[in-house]
Amino acid sequence: MADSTRHPAWWAIALTALPLVTCTGTDPDVAPPFAVYTPSPDSDVPQAEINGALTLTDGCLTVSGYPLSLPDDAVWDPEARSLLVDGNVYATGNIVTWGGAYSSTDRAGDLPPGCPSGELAQAYTFN
């Protein structure tokens, strides 16, 4: 009779075949393709609608051509070309409608080099 506490051999093989993935799903040495901000729970945030296709061009993540500024807990997965933010996954090509504000790219010190200058879309709420 087989020991019911042992796992079948295929189970051990399946576990060893799984790739090792960091909790962020991205290389921490690679800068994300968007500017990053630290949300302040005390601030009143203006709400404009940021709407359009999520696009990656020249190393810059944009919505409707506007470079993005996202909260510091947003995670970029370069292999899947997707973004994890506020518990939701958005892939490039998805149409998004987020709450946020538009401001000058001069205010985004960590904007990736491939991003156009001018206006920036800073997203605050995600759905």
Dist. CA 32–CA 42, nearest whole Å: 26
Q: What is the pLDDT of residue 40?
A: 75
Comparing CA positions, the residue from 127, 119, 104, 31 lying closest to residue 72 is 31
pLDDT tens profile 40-49: 776 666 678 9
pLDDT band at 126 (very low <50, low <70, confident <90, very high): confident
Q: Is 66 in a helix, a strand, or coil?
A: strand
Model confidence, pTM:
0.73
**Tokens 């709400």, residue located:** 47
Q: Give residue-wise pLDDT tens across range 106-120.
A: 766 688 989 988 899
The helices-and-strands tally (H runs, E runs) of the chain is: 1, 9
Domains of the chain: 32-39+46-125 (2.40.50)
67, 35 contact by CB (below 8 A): yes
